């Protein structure tokens, strides 16, 4: 899995690409996210449009990201899930926990009003 961070208007945009299966890069990813949260970043968009596959460990990574931000009074929004990832979010009922949107603009609007 590959990932990139971009800070736009005090919102962390995390782009995930490949397979989110909670492998070794998961710990490194969480360390970096913790750093942003400790610096005061409270809002996060997770762009999952390029995720091919996600397993239960990957779901755990998303939930951990959400927990880290919500524990500091923040919020997380998932951006553009593929059809297969969207189905998984529905089956696991995570679509009721996460805000899921189709555009970055919509994500920013949701987060700023949260």
Q: What is the CATH number of the domain that holds 104?
A: 3.30.750.24
Single pTM value for the model: 0.94
C-beta separation of 69 from 62 below 8 A: no
What are the CA-CA distances from residue 92 to residues 5, 22, 86, 96 (Å)? 26, 17, 10, 9
Which residue segment(s) compose the domain that 84 sits in? 2-113
Q: At what angle do helices 56-71 and 25-38 cross, to 10 degrees?
A: 10
The per-residue pLDDT for 25 is 67
CA distance 80 to 86: 9
Task: Count up the domains in the chain and report the number.
Answer: 1
Give the pLDDT band (50/70/90) at residue 36. Answer: very high
The per-residue pLDDT for 22 is 73
């Amino acid at each position: 899995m590959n990932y990139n961070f971009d800070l736009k208007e005090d919102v962390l945009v995390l782009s995930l690409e490949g397979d989110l299966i909670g492998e070794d890069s998961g710990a490194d990813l969480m360390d970096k996210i913790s750093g942003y949260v400790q610096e005061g970043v409270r809002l996060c968009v997770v762009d999952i449009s390029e995720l091919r596959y996600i397993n239960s460990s990957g779901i755990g990574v998303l939930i951990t990201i959400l927990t880290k931000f919500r524990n500091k009074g923040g919020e997380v929004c998932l951006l553009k899930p593929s059809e297969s990832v969207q189905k998984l979010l529905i089956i696991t009922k995570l679509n009721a926990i996460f805000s899921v949107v189709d555009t970055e603009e919509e994500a920013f609007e949701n987060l700023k009003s949260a």
